Structure 1
Amino acid sequence: MADKDSHFDMAPPPQPVKKLGLGVRAVLQIVFAILSLVFIYYLAFTYQTRKDLSERSDFTVSEATENLLRSSGVMDREEPIKIIAALRKSSPHYSRLRPVVEEYERLSKGKVKLEYLDPIRDKDRAFEIQNNYGDLLADKLFEDDIFIIDARKGASANSVEATEDVTSHLRYLPASSMVISRTDINNQRRIVGYQDEDLLSSMLQSAIEGKPRIMYLVEDKSDLEVTAAGSPLQVIREALQKQNVYLLPLKISQVDRIPENAEGLVIVAPEYDFEPKEIEVLESYWKRPSSAIIAYLNPTTRPVNLRAFLRKNGVTPRDDRIIRTRHGRTENQVLATFTVGAGLGVNGSLEMKSVPFEGRVGSLEVREGAEDLVANRIQAYSLIETAPDFWGETDYKKANPKYDDDSDYSGPLSIGAAVIRGNANSDNTAPNISKMIVLSTSDFLDPARLGNEQLDFVKNSTYWLLGREELMGIGPRSLQRRKLNLIKDDIKFLSNIVLFFIPVGLFLVAMFVWNIRRA
């Protein structure tokens, strides 16, 4: 047995595994660590994204602005649009406005170039911009935080001559105009919101378009002063100017035809009726392709011919006052809701929001889906409706009015309507349809009564009339303040946590880790 086992050879002893030296392994680890960092940096630099972690997404722009930045007017440009943001770091608006304007550059994919400038710290660059834009925009550019939007193209891109071709594509926007302030109970002005995205997008659109659009105001039918401070007409004019629309006066009694360059016609608080010849001029314009009419009526007057024109197009102003009674008192401040409007999108972000309309308010009869209107390719839609407990009082001059089922109009009642003339369902004819906005009141335009919601409606309806639906729905954003009331003991407790417990806790954790590694 022993002889038999002797024929087996002994297995060779195991060879030691060759390992890399400690120094080589350390070098390889460092190399791979550096390569990993480079790869991570490359991915982060190439595929970067931003996340708005604020509670209400305060720094995320709306879909309307994204559509504007993706539109052909931006994407088809050869030269990028320049936005110069002159914001002082010490400004109270800096932390709010800079992240918002940076979104314009990020979403435009290089078609919008943002230059940030602190005119206090970089005075050389500030003087250079002053020399380049001072004569074109303003004499004192840096008295306020400002935005300069430069959408010039071709030979005029670097010109300093104040010609129409140069200045029409430049916009100057003070940061103070973006601030919404109100007086609090202590009679102090406080910032309650910003309309930063609203104005930036409007100015960007107007800089791209260049030459402003023209709308005409029928001035010989109203006693309102166009240039008077605080006038409703001044409110409309300023709102339209921010949309690159100039409101020019027109005496309809002196013309045979509305000018060809008219993008729209505005009728505000008409005191006097239209003559038959003037109605013919109005009818002729209404039948023109892509015409637009805004009619803010005066409930105290009864222009018979104008009323007949509106009724022919599906909207009839009634001779009443919208009121309600609560706790034995008559209220004429009307609570109304912006409707969906059959999906027209006129109300934008205001849809289903309820707001008060102060002043005199009458009701409108809106004949939605009427056969005679459909036969003439006219469609009327209600845009603003009152709460159900309001009614239209026809005998509104008597004291202590009560609802009469025979003569009064029960709620909900329409106070705002939209009218479309033409085939809006065809892609070929939709750009040529005529549009009209009718409101039964103009008192809400008084600056003392005008709210942000009503102003948004004026802007959204104008966008809709002019075919700028991509800008609808951009509204102001309110600031949210939270007050934390702490007594003296609470403040002392928080101070102890910050000054003692947190440092001691970190020290103990460090000692624990050190002790484990030492063992």
Structure 2
Amino acid sequence: MPDSKTEPTPPTQGSIPKRWGIGLNVAFQVLLVLALFFGVNRISYRYHTRWDLSPQQSYTLSSSTLNYVSKLPKDVFIANVFARDAKIFTDVQALLEEYRINGRGRIKLRSIDPLRDIERAEELKAETGLPLDQNGIVIKVGNLTRFIREEEMVIRDTGTETTRAIKAFRGEDAVTSALINLVEGGERKFYLVVGKGSRTETALTDAMTALGELGRQQNFQLLPVNLAEISRIPEDADGLLLVGIRYDLSEREIAMIKTFWEGKRAGLLVMMDPAGETPRLHAFLGLNGVIPREDRVLYAESTGSGTRKEFSVQGLFDNESPITQPLAASTVTLPGQSQSLDVRFDDEYLQNQSITVNPLIGASDRYWGEKNYLEDLPVVDEEDTRQPIYLAASVERGSVADPRLRVDSCRMVVVGNASMLDKKSALAVNRDFVASSLNWIINRDRLSGTPPKLKHSYRIQLNPRQNELIFWITTIAMPGLVLGLGMLVWASRRAA
């Protein structure tokens, strides 16, 4: 009977090279995977995109700050001198990282804990000459240094010194203002014309408060000036503001403004009160291509409940002007009453005088400029102004078309409304438009866009039942669900 056992077949000579081939193939694959891994990491390190997924975009710099830091003309050094256990340390560090990332290599950032990094803190003291005896931020540009204290970056709630909780974080506001101050070497100055009446004392106070707040953010100083008490506009004036004046300027005062406007670099912001009697001011504006009309922009209709007449105007921003381009996606509401503006942007005489006029805000389609606005139900007729209705315009004199030859020019913004800064009715976009206009008229194009916003702190009050429900969900239900899924997976594997 033949033997059923078979002898094992000895390996052939070709099997060894085959094993070597498999090994080399595996090694090559491993090297390729490693190369792809390090290559992808290298590329993602140099070219990456960051998203701010917070509901209020709390970790994103405002458009005006982004425009400014992306075009810095000088190198900037920033030191975060905060103890790690400070309440706002995380917010400050995240904020300064945004400045560094968007500074295009111009901003160098260092974080120093004065309680742990004593040697580095002493070196910074010796280098800057600052005491650094409290938490804050050191900003250095050339030979100029600024120390921003912790209290300058927060707004606290009312209460005693020891119990005042932080209500809002205004770090970007403080850092951007200090940065502008150091780069420009000082504050700009705006003079607000007073002594010419106003709608109410409250309206004038609201305007001064709002402009003062913008000045603190945008690094300019707001000063009142009575034209009747001076012989010329102050030489250190970067801009002159005429906000809601009711009484007309005298011939001498108009001559002062003309002299200021015809200087090498002048900025004017004029917010017209439609109820004001200012024919000389109207004539001055008309010579520069913007003529305020004697009307009111409104919308009127007859409804089942009676007549509806709406003076509050819904407007749209121009998407080409550097003033309003960052705001073009937003709509603006002009409260109170507004008058339309005749904008002569195609006037040949103005073009020969190197004066360029552009509309900034236009009323939406349902509004018109009504002459007989006191009627109960006004209707559009021949003497009224039809679309397009312009509510704000810009004027630039002495501009150069070629950006390579750009020099500072004289600039003016005219608005047919004086209520944009009223505390009770003003929207954030109104404030943003005024801030962008102020920066534009003093040739600060790098600060165009929306200014910094406050980062508010919110407290959620939960009742005992809600606290108990959160406890059961987070401590019992969610861990139990994970445990149950794990047991199901284990049981299915045991059955297999």
Same fold flag (TM > 0.5): yes
Kindly state the Cα deviation for residue 270 of structure 1 after the two structures are TM-superposed: 1.6
Judge conservation of contact 1:337–1:352 (CA < 8 Å) in 2. Answer: no
Could you tell me which residue of structure 1 aligns to residue 22 of structure 2?
Answer: none
Judge conservation of contact 1:334–1:386 (CA < 8 Å) in 2. Answer: no
Judge conservation of contact 1:391–1:403 (CA < 8 Å) in 2. Answer: no
How big is each residue's C-alpha offset from its partner over 1:254-295, in whole Å with a ceiling of 9 and x where there is no partner? Answer: 444323322111111222212222222211111112211111
Could you tell me which residue of structure 2 aligns to residue 245 of structure 1?
Answer: 220
Kindly state the Cα deviation for residue 490 of structure 1 after the two structures are TM-superposed: 12
Q: What TM-score do the two structures reach when normalised by structure 2?
A: 0.73
Aligned partners of 2:13 and 2:125: how far apart in 1? 84
1:141-180 aligned within 5 A: 148-154=137-143, 169-170=145-146, 172=148
Kindly state the Cα deviation for residue 311 of structure 1 after the two structures are TM-superposed: 0.8
Is structure 2 residue 349 aligned with structure 1 residue 368?
A: no
Aligned partners of 1:348 and 1:438: how far apart in 2? 17
Could you tell me which residue of structure 1 aligns to residue 479 of structure 2?
Answer: 499
Aligned partners of 2:12 and 2:364: how far apart in 1? 98
Secondary structure of 2:297's match? strand
Q: How many residues align?
A: 461
AA aligned to 2:282 is R
Aligned partners of 1:199 and 1:103: how far apart in 2? 14
Kindly state the Cα deviation for residue 353 of structure 1 after the two structures are TM-superposed: 2.0
User: Which consecutive unaligned segments of at least 5 residues does structure 1 have?
Assistant: 1-11, 21-27, 155-165, 182-188
AA aligned to 1:354 is T
Secondary structure of 2:238's match? strand
Could you tell me which residue of structure 2 aligns to residue 219 of structure 1?
Answer: 194
Judge conservation of contact 1:384–1:414 (CA < 8 Å) in 2. Answer: yes
Could you tell me which residue of structure 1 aligns to residue 408 of structure 2?
Answer: 432
**458-467 vs 38-47, which deviates more?**
38-47
Aligned partners of 1:38 and 1:221: how far apart in 2? 71
Is structure 2 residue 305 aligned with structure 1 residue 322?
A: no
Kindly state the Cα deviation for residue 512 of structure 1 after the two structures are TM-superposed: 7.2
AA aligned to 1:205 is I
Judge conservation of contact 1:89–1:118 (CA < 8 Å) in 2. Answer: no
Could you tell me which residue of structure 1 aligns to residue 100 of structure 2?
Answer: 105
1:48-447 aligned within 5 A: 49=48, 51-52=50-51, 54=53, 59-61=59-61, 65-74=65-74, 77=75, 80-84=76-80, 86=82, 91=87, 98-108=93-103, 111-116=106-111, 148-154=137-143, 169-170=145-146, 172=148, 197=172, 200-222=175-197, 230-326=205-301, 327=303, 328-340=306-318, 343-396=320-373, 398=374, 400-427=376-403, 430-447=406-423
Q: Aligned-residue CA RMSD in angstroms?
A: 5.0
Aligned partners of 1:387 and 1:53: how far apart in 2? 33
Kindly state the Cα deviation for residue 419 of structure 1 after the two structures are TM-superposed: 0.8
Secondary structure of 2:192's match? strand
Aligned partners of 1:433 and 1:221: how far apart in 2? 28
AA aligned to 1:82 is I
Kindly state the Cα deviation for residue 38 of structure 1 after the two structures are TM-superposed: 12
Could you tell me which residue of structure 2 aligns to residue 157 of structure 1?
Answer: none
Judge conservation of contact 1:85–1:116 (CA < 8 Å) in 2. Answer: yes
Judge conservation of contact 1:332–1:360 (CA < 8 Å) in 2. Answer: no
Aligned partners of 1:391 and 1:227: how far apart in 2? 29
Could you tell me which residue of structure 1 aligns to residue 449 of structure 2?
Answer: 473
Q: What TM-score do the two structures reach when normalised by structure 1?
A: 0.71
Judge conservation of contact 2:153–2:169 (CA < 8 Å) in 1. Answer: no
User: Which consecutive unaligned segments of at least 5 residues does structure 2 have?
Assistant: 1-10, 20-26, 158-164
Compared CA separation, residues 195 and 352, structure 1 to 2 (3 A):
farther
* Structure with more relative contact order (C-alpha pairs < 8 Å, separation 6 or more): 2
AA aligned to 1:498 is M
Kindly state the Cα deviation for residue 149 of structure 1 after the two structures are TM-superposed: 4.5
How high is the sequence identity, in percent, across the aligned residues? 23
Judge conservation of contact 1:386–1:415 (CA < 8 Å) in 2. Answer: yes
Judge conservation of contact 2:63–2:451 (CA < 8 Å) in 1. Answer: no
